[in-house]
Amino acid sequence: MKQEFLLPDLGEGLTEAEIVQWLVAEGDTVTLNQTLAEVETAKAIVELPSPHAGVIASLHAAAGDVVAVGAPLVGFEIEGAEPTTPVPSATAVEEGSGPNLVGYGAAPSSGRPRRRARRAAAGTTTVVAADADVRVAAPHDAIDVQPSPPVRGERPRSTPPVRAYAKGLGVDLALVAAELGDRVITRSDVDAYRERLTQRAAGTAAAPGPATAVQTSEPVRRRTEAGERATTRIPIRGVRKHTAEAMVQSAFTAPHVTTFHTVDVTATSELIASLRATAAPDSPRIGVLTVVAKAVCLALAHFPGLNARWDGEAGEIVQQHFVDLGIAAATDRGLIVPVIRDAERLTLGELAAAVAELTRTARSGKTPPADLLGGTFSLTNIGVFGIDAGTPILPPGQTGILALGAVRRMPWEHRGEIALRDVMTLSLSFDHRIVDGAEGAQFLKAVADVLQEPGRAMLLA
């Protein structure tokens, strides 16, 4: 009997997901919890496990399609089963009554099925240009620059960041694997393949047939009397779309105030150097972000307004006596802010380990959606880009976010004399509905005092 599998409701307020790649094809036999596809939500790339054991009867979307939550995704032929429409809810997983769905991990599969190549629509030419996937509808006699994908067997061997990188460039890893053979595909392999494809495309730029539609992230060029001018169109989707919506909501909901403080952090630099010199080889690396995170957790206990949220419906300010610390992470897919739960309970070493793990997961695109929710205060380290200060926007629902500037060696007054010192600027943005200027300044000063004299942490603990 046939059963339809709908795109699951992740329970995180997400309404759609993009199909990154299918790992099965119509006619394949799959087992329960075998991974069907990788899907990209507004927050993460996750694996979609099968809710049934049976045969894939139909795939209702192609790679690159954006599918609404609750829309049909896969049709199954299940021997002896009554035709039903499953309810794709994460709640069922938590209760143990269903398969592992998105965000909850999938049981390991004994092997991957063979996958058939996706067919392009009739009369469509696909050209992968320098930085883009350019699809131009053209007559049937147009030249197809990108070679037809071979019939696929095993999934191309690569890491999640490389798959995301290739996807962003419009490069099909199956085609790269067909040229390279059976080995792990790297970013340089993707770049080299894209360059070869670009050269092929340049040789067929005059292919017959008028273009009727263009969807591209490659600059569209036109000649004018002033010379060549260009524009670039980039689809707004995934993390960037979610981040944009969240930032607009925050900026026009909470009245932002930003205050700055430049502090001598030489003692913190010396502390970090000392800890690294005596640490075991496999110990997590402690850096300035870790020390600031610890200082923030200590200071929030004394300034609860910065760790509160505005409940307009109830007419209340809710102070939270725990710290779920958000750490802004720049990824290839955009900015995300994963959360370290109960950060105030962690030692300096445990915070360092948590930050390292959070960063690795974010860069791989595998941060679970649940880990991006519920932060109470956030940090953003703009210093890694060589920036001294900024005016960070609050993550929705939070009252404070602290930006760390670059640590610079510069002349500074020290004990009545001018000396070379390590100096850093802290930028604190806060919700002026909850925190007034005095409290914001006092909190920032408390954090700065710990960085200036790490021994002061004992006074705040």
Residue in 60, 256, 261, 432 annotated catalytic: 432
CATH code of the domain covering residue 29: 2.40.50.100
**Tens digits of per-residue pLDDT, 333-356?**
788 999 999 999 999 999 999 999
The Cα–Cα gap between 362 and 335 comes to: 10
Work out the end-to-end distance of the chain between its first and last CA atoms, rounded to an integer number of angstroms: 63
Share of the chain above pLDDT 90, in %: 46
- Position 51 in a domain: yes
- Averaged pLDDT score across all residues of the chain: 78
- Position 112 in a domain: no
How many structural domains does the chain have? 3
Q: Is the pLDDT of residue 274 over 50?
A: yes
List the single range of 3-7, 140-144, 252-256 with lowest mean pLDDT.
140-144
Residues 396 and 453 in one domain: yes
**Is 52 one of the catalytic residues?**
no
Residues 291 and 380 in one domain: yes
More confident call, 236 vs 152 = 236
Cβ atoms < 10 Å from Cβ of 410: 11
Residues 243 and 380 in one domain: yes
- Position 199 in a domain: yes
Q: Is the pLDDT of residue 267 over 50?
A: yes
Domain final residue pick, 183, 213, 231: 231
- Position 104 in a domain: no
* pLDDT value, residue 387: 96
Q: Is the pLDDT of residue 366 over 70?
A: yes
The answer to whether 144 touches 126, Cβ cutoff 8 Å, is: yes
Share of the chain above pLDDT 70, in %: 74
Residues 375 and 292 in one domain: yes
* pLDDT value, residue 43: 61
- Position 117 in a domain: no
- Position 102 in a domain: no
Residues 389 and 246 in one domain: yes
- Position 168 in a domain: yes
Residues 213 and 243 in one domain: no
Confidence of residue 413 (pLDDT cuts 50, 70, 90): very high
The residues pairing with 124 across neighbouring beta strands, listed in sequence order, are 137
* pLDDT value, residue 235: 82
Residues 335 and 439 in one domain: yes
Mean per-residue pLDDT, 6-20: 75
More confident call, 225 vs 449 = 449
Domain final residue pick, 231, 257, 287: 231
Helix, strand or coil, per DSSP, at residue 323:
coil
More confident call, 197 vs 130 = 197
* pLDDT value, residue 194: 79
Confidence of residue 93 (pLDDT cuts 50, 70, 90): very low
Residues 406 and 433 in one domain: yes
- Position 107 in a domain: no
List the single range of 30-34, 130-134, 180-184 with lowest mean pLDDT.
130-134
Residues 161 and 227 in one domain: yes
Residue labelled with tokens 């200027």: 437
Q: Is the pLDDT of residue 54 over 70?
A: yes
Q: Is the pLDDT of residue 136 over 80?
A: no
Residues 80 and 177 in one domain: no
Q: Which range is most confident: 77-86, 330-339, 449-458?
A: 449-458
- Domain range holding 148? 124-231
Q: Is the pLDDT of residue 210 over 70?
A: no
Cβ atoms < 10 Å from Cβ of 214: 12
Concatenated DSSP letters for 145-214? -SPPPPPB-SPPPB-HHHHHHHHHHT--HHHHHHHH-SS-B-HHHHHHHHHHHHHHHHTTTT-SS----E
Confidence of residue 12 (pLDDT cuts 50, 70, 90): low
Residues 243 and 221 in one domain: no
The Cα–Cα gap between 380 and 426 comes to: 10
Domain final residue pick, 231, 252, 280: 231
Residues 223 and 251 in one domain: no
CATH code of the domain covering residue 456: 3.30.559.10
